Amino acid sequence: MRIKAHVAEFIGTFMLVASVLGAALFSFPIAGIVGVALSIGFSVMAMIFAVGTISGGHFNPAVTLGLVAGRRFSASEAPTYIAAQCLGGIAAALVFYLIASGKSGGFEVGNFASNTYGGASGYSLASVFIIEFVLTGLFIFIIMGVTSERAPAGFAAIAIGLTLSAIHLMAIPVDNASVNPARSLATAFIALGEPLSQLWLFWVAPILGGVAGGLLGRWLIDDND
């Protein structure tokens, strides 16, 4: 077991979830969707630059399993990577819950920036499944491309971070944007209720999409025949 790699995944996922919650809970009235999207994109970009050489900078179970499907990562290491990511996300959610709870006048947990579907003003289960599947698949496909041997060196973190910002601009209005089961677990862990009961979708759709993106990247990018 590569202890440093797992610690890097814990810290990277902590930062990812922190970037979502910090922007959504505190800055949203001023920064809006664009602010949240840039917060997560820039944070992930920075963490890949910081610890990508240690763990690969996954910070997302769908990325880990997508890279397994694309034969870029060992299947035997995936379970402990995913455990580290989930623990890092939950730790960030707990820290930001404590911070938010210190607000003068009290703090309503509500959905705690969780991912949900349905409801009177929400999108259907099918709509949310499609956007999570498609965007996660494209995300992993792009990761496969920008980290390939033929890609320009040194730009992968920038491309990945900007892609993640673009994905959040598209998906936040639909389901608060997941494309990351660890991120969805972290916020549902605090919110409980509906976000927790609907959590299955935000594991199934991103993972299936990630695997599809990894397989496509393996065929189109890595296979040179």
Please give, one letter per residue, the 3-state secondary structure of the chain. Answer: CCHHHHHHHHHHHHHHHHHHHHHHHHHHHHHHHHHHHHHHHHHHHHHHHHHHHHHCCCCCHHHHHHHHHCCCCCHHHHHHHHHHHHHHHHHHHHHHHHHHHCCCCCCCCCCCCCCCCCCCCCCCHHHHHHHHHHHHHHHHHHHHHHCCCCCCCCCHHHHHHHHHHHHHHHHHHHHCCCCCHHHHHHHHHHHCHHHHHCCCHHHHHHHHHHHHHHHHHHHHHHCCC
The pTM assigned to this predicted structure is: 0.96
* Residue 160 and residue 44 in contact, taking contact as beta carbons nearer than 8 Å: yes
Nearest to 110 by CA among 191, 183, 174: 191
How far the first Cα of the chain sits from its last, in Å, is 35
Question: Domains (ranges, CATH) in the chain?
Answer: 3-222 (1.20.1080.10)
Tokens, residue 91: 């730790």
101-124 exposure pattern, b = at least 16 Cβ within 10 A, e = fewer: eeeeeeeeeebbbbbbbeeeeebe
In the prediction, which pLDDT does 28 show? 87
In the prediction, which pLDDT does 1 show? 55
In the prediction, which pLDDT does 147 show? 96
What is the residue-level pLDDT of the chain in tens, covering all 225 positions?
A: 589 999 999 999 999 999 999 999 999 889 899 999 999 999 999 999 999 999 999 999 999 999 999 999 999 999 999 999 999 999 999 999 999 999 888 888 899 999 999 987 789 999 999 999 999 999 999 999 999 998 998 999 999 999 999 999 999 999 999 999 999 999 999 999 999 999 999 999 999 999 999 999 999 998 865
